Amino acid sequence: MSLYLLFKGLLSRKVVTILLLLQLAMTLALLLNSVLLAQQTHKQLNQPTGMDLDNIVLVQLKPTTASLRVYPALEELLNRQLNAVSALPDVVAAAYANQSALLQGGNNGNVYLDGEEGRTNQPSVPMYFVSKEFFRVLDSQVLQGELPQHSVSLDNPVRPDVVITQSLAKQLFADKSAIGQQLNRGRLAAVISDFYGQRSGDNVMYNSIQVAPPYGVDWGYSILLRVTPGRAGAVRQQLDQVLRQVEPNIEIFHIRTLAEQHQRLYRNEYGLAMLLTILSALMLLVTMVSSYSSTHFHALKRQQEIGIKRALGASKNSIFIELLSENWLCTLVGALFGVVLALLLNQALAQVISIPSLNGYLPVMTIMALLLCVTLATWYPAAIATRISPASATKAL
């Protein structure tokens, strides 16, 4: 079958072919980027966080009275709130923290070995100031050293000991013992198992924790509770009332499980992936309808030509393959433009969200899927065209 004749057939209906090529290119570009975004979002939502997300409840709140946001009134308020929520049925452990885990960004800073900042500096490490039960809430494993057992008072000039996560310890010390080393934040007391801190950090598992009261709560603070498995819903229903009974002058921003917090962390990517998927499905449906209509109309216009070919000995299969080949050629040309358009769309999306670049195999797989859909759409009209009788097609000549 001549490639020249196939191109000639496509060029004989320029407007329809151009519109179909544009449709195929847009469809492929949307398909590629929606698959990329869906893959990345699925990977992010299923990556280990180091926490039992379903059974940890987060309360984000702040005092509305200025006097309650400073010490000693703040310390007394924190203790009253922890005592109240710890007494609830199904609460295993409760702790306060200046910020929650699983955030986009927050309170962070540099961590490095004293005297070796140039070699060991790690920027944007989340800084947690917590009560001692924080590690029990997260169910952290102590890998080296011992956890601090007492909160350091703001009146105490001694810097509180530091606890860091395993990934940060490995980055700072490799395989050497870390305990007792002096960091810019204080003496290192323990290394615990990793947990997901802030998404904007260089490594989501890098975290620095100190058992000390938060220095300021003008932007609020977090109360974290580990609950009996399956009882998160029952506990969260009671928290608003219990906390307001302890102190009515508070604003509760939200109460949610860390599983919900994790979902919200990636809601932009998830929402955009869903939108692109729906648009891709609609574009694919429209493309299949257009391919069907184009093939059907083209076959009707070529009835006499097909009849003459049949009279000259062309088989039904050769006519069928010829019609499908035109659609395959059109799809491949449109797909090439689609790959270029997909690259441009990928770069545009990368300016506003985190999205991976196009890899080598995905365009090939997507083009094959597009070819399959176009083949299914044009199968029936191509099959109908092969049934044209040579006698009926040529009787008007």
The tens digit of pLDDT for each residue in 6-20 reads: 455 555 566 667 777
What the block records as the tokens of 291 is 């391919």
- 193 by Cβ neighbours in 10 Å (0-12 / 13-18 / 19+) ranks as middle
C-alpha dihedral sign at 222, 225, 231, 237: negative
Q: Cα(127)–Cα(92) distance, rounded to whole angstroms? A: 25
- pLDDT band at residue 55 using 50, 70 and 90 as cut-offs: very high
pLDDT of residue 305: 61
Instruction: State residue 50's pLDDT score.
Output: 95
User: What pLDDT sits at residue 311?
Assistant: 60
pLDDT above 60 (res 260): yes
pLDDT (tens digit per residue) in 184-225: 999 999 999 999 999 988 899 999 999 988 877 888 999 999
Candidate ranges 198-212, 276-290, 360-374, 382-396; pick with highest mean pLDDT: 198-212
Measured distance CA(112)–CA(86) in Å, rounded: 36
Give the three-class secondary structure for 307.
helix
The residue type at 377: A
Torsion sign (Cα): 150, 151, 152, 155: negative
**Residue ranges per structural domain of the chain:** 3-45+267-394, 65-248
Instruction: Tell me: pLDDT of 273 over 60.
Output: yes
What secondary structure, in 3-state letters, does 98-152 show? CCCCCECCCCEEEECECCCHHHHCEEEEEEEEECCCHHHHHCCCEEEECCCCCCC
pTM above 0.95, yes or no: no
343: enclosing H helix or E strand: helix 316-350
The kind and range of the H/E element at 221 are: strand 221-227
Confidence of residue 284 (pLDDT cuts 50, 70, 90): confident
Report pLDDT for 15: 61
Give the tens place of pLDDT for each residue, 102-141: 999 999 999 999 888 888 999 999 999 999 999 999 999 9
Q: Is the pLDDT of residue 320 over 50?
A: yes
Q: Residue 236 — pLDDT band, cuts 50, 70, 90? A: very high
At residue 387 the predicted structure's pLDDT band, cuts being 50, 70 and 90, is low
Q: What is the dihedral of CA 206, 141, 232, 224, to 10 degrees?
A: -50
Please give the average per-residue pLDDT across 311-316, as a whole number. 60
- Residue 338 one-letter amino acid: G
Between 318 and 35, where is the model more confident? Answer: 35
- Provide the mean pLDDT of the chain: 85
